[in-house]
Amino acid sequence: MSEQPHKNVVSLEGVKGELSAFADLVDNTLVSPSGQANLLYIKSVTDAQKISRTIITPFYEMEDMSAYRDYIITYPGSEEGTTVERALELLLSGYAGLAIQSRVYFFDALLSENSSVSQTTTESVTQGPSDGFTENLAINLNLVRRRYQSPQLKMESMLIGNISRTKVAILYDESRVNHEVLAELREKLGTLKVDILQAAGELEKYISSDKLRLIPKTIVTERPDRVVFNLAEGKVALLTDTTGFAIVLPCIFNDFFIAMDDKINLPFVGRFLKLLRIIGVAMTLWLPALYVALTSYNPEIIRIQITLLIAGSRATVPYPSFVEVLIMLLMMEFLTEASIRLPRAVGPTATTVGGLILGQAATEAGLVGNIMIILVAAVAISNFLIPLNMMSFSIRVLKYYFVLAAIVLGLVGIVICFVGFTMYLCSQRSFGQPYFRLFLLDDVMKGQRKGKGGKG
C-alpha cells in the first residue's frame, strides 16, 4: 500500500492538526528496543489506567512489533483507522489512537464515571438526564465531551488563584462561538488577581465588570445538558475544578427562564410552562408591592368585594400595611433560608411548623390579615418557578425595591420602579451582548425578510 498522504489515509499528525487547542489532548511517543509507536488520546474521555494497563505495558513487554500490532487489532473494540472524520469521531468518543509502523489503530479506552456522577440537586427536571456536575474537573469534562462529540469543541485550560491554584477550563465550539466574547473572557481571566477561588459563583463575580449587579449576567448551572445546549448556541462555558457548577456566558434575560425539560415537552406544553414561569416572576415581584399600593393608596382599583374583604381582615392589624407586608415577607425569607441550612430530616418539620402554624397563629392573633397569608404563600411558591437559582435569588431581593416604591408613592411608585427596572435591564450588556434582547423581534424581522424574498 502506498504511503503517500491521501485524505483517506489517516496519520496521527493529521488528526492532531484537527484537534488544535485541545488542552486535554495527550500525544506520547513510546520507544522500545523493538520499535516505536505514537499514542494519541483525549485525557478527559479516556481511562488512563486502562491505557497504561492494556496499551503501554504490553508495548514494553512484547518483543516483536508485529505481535504487538496483532495484539492491538485483536483486542475487543479496536479498529483500524480509515478516514480522518472517523478518526476524530473515535478519538472524541474515548478511543486512543495508536500509530504503529505507519498504520493507525484505535483502541477503546472510554472512561465512564457513572459511579461518581451524582444527580442534580438544584435544577431538577421531570424528564431527561439527571446527571449533575461533580467536583472533579476531569469528570465534568467527560460529562460534556460525551454529550458534545465534535472536533470543534475546544478547550483551554488555566490556573486561577495564587494560593488555591484552581484549574479552570474554557470550553467553546470554535465554529459557533463569538470570538469577541472569547477574547474579552480571556483577557479578564488573564488579568484576574485573586488568592483563593473555590466556587463557580465566585468566578462569576470576578469576571463581571459591573459593580451594582441586580441580576445575574452569566448562568451558573450544574447540568451538563444545559452547558451542551448553550455551547451549541455559541456560548462559552467555564468549568472550574472543585466545584459542581459551570458558568455559561454570555447570556440574556430570557435564558434564565428556560428549563431543560422545555425541549422535551410538547411545544404547546413547553410554552405554557414558560408562560407560567413569567407569570410567577410577575407575581413574586409585584404582589407584595401591589398589596401595599392597593390597601393604602388606591383601593379604587380592586372590586368592592375584595376591598371590604381586605379592610375586614385588616381590622385587627395594628400596624400600617407595609409593616404587615414586611413582617410577613421577612418571616417567609427566614423560613426559606432556614430550610436550606437545616438537616434534611428536620427540614419538612420546620417548614410545616413555620408555614402553617405560624401563619395560622398570626392571623388568629390578629397580627396580620388573612389575605396577607395567602399573598405571602403565593409569593413564596411562585419564586421557585424560576429554574435557575441565581435569578431566583435576584428576583427575591428585587421585590423589596418594589415594596419600597409602593410605600413611598403607591401605584405610581410601582410604575416608576417598573420603568426604571426595564431601563436598567435594557442598558445591561453581558460580555458585549444586549441583555434584554427580545428574540420575538428577530423572528418578526426574519419573517419580513422571508416575505420579501417570496415576492421577489
Partner 1 sequence: MKRWLLAIMLVLLLFTGGCDFKDIDRRIFVVAIGVDAGEKEGHFKISLKMALPQGEITKIDEKVQILTEESFSISEAVRRMKSRVEKELDFVHCKSIILGEGLAQKDIRHIMDWAVRRRDLQLILHVAVGRPDALKVLQVKPQSERIPSNSLIMAMSGQGTESPFITKVFSFQLMRNIYEKGLDPILPIIEARGQEEFVINKIALFDKHRIRETLTPNETRLFNLLSRKNLRTNLPAFYKGEMYQYYTEQSTSAYRIFTPGGGKPTLRYRIKIKGILEESSNEDIVTQSLLKEIGAAGEEDLRKKIHALLRKIQASHQDPLGWGLRYGARHFNNRTEMDNWNDLYAQLRFQVDVRVNIKYSGVTK
- Residues found near partner 1 in the complex (CB under 8 A): 294-300, 304-305, 307-317, 320-321, 370, 407-413, 416
User: Which residue has cell 427566614?
Assistant: 334
| Full DSSP string of 190-247 | HT---S----HHHHHHHH---SS-SS-SSEEE--HHHHHHHHHTT-EEEEETTSS-EE
Look up residue 355 and give its DSSP letter.
Answer: I
Residues listed for the chain: 456
CB of 298 to partner 1, least distance (A): 7
Tell me whether residue 71 or residue 421 sits nearer to partner 1 (CB atom): 421
CA distances to 314, 321, 363, 373, 374 from 328, in Å: 14, 11, 11, 8, 11
Name the minimum Å distance from CB 379 to partner 1. 19
Based on CB atoms, which residue is closest to partner 1, 125 or 293?
A: 293
Minimum CB distance to partner 1, residue 299 (Å): 5
CB of 394 to partner 1, least distance (A): 22
Of 164 and 296, nearer to partner 1 (C-beta) is 296
User: Nearest distance from residue 425's CB to partner 1, in Å?
Assistant: 17
Q: Residue 279 or 308: which CB sits closer to partner 1?
A: 308
Asked if 36 contacts 50 with a C-beta cutoff of 8 angstroms, the reply is: no
Residue with smaller CB distance to partner 1, 226 or 314: 314
**How far apart are alpha carbons 161 and 174 in whole angstroms?**
27
CB of 329 to partner 1, least distance (A): 17
Q: Give the torsion through C-alpha atoms of 259, 265, 266, 269, to 10 deg.
A: -60
The whole-angstrom separation of Cα 377 and Cα 426 is: 31
Shortest Å distance, C-beta 346 to partner 1? 34
Report whether 240 contacts 200 (CB < 8 A).
Answer: yes
CB 48 within 8 A of CB 104: no
User: Which residue, 346 or 408, is less far from partner 1 as judged by CB?
Assistant: 408
**Identity of the residue, 264 or 309, whose beta carbon is nearer to partner 1 in the bound complex:** 309
| CA dihedral (35, 38, 44, 45) positive or negative | negative
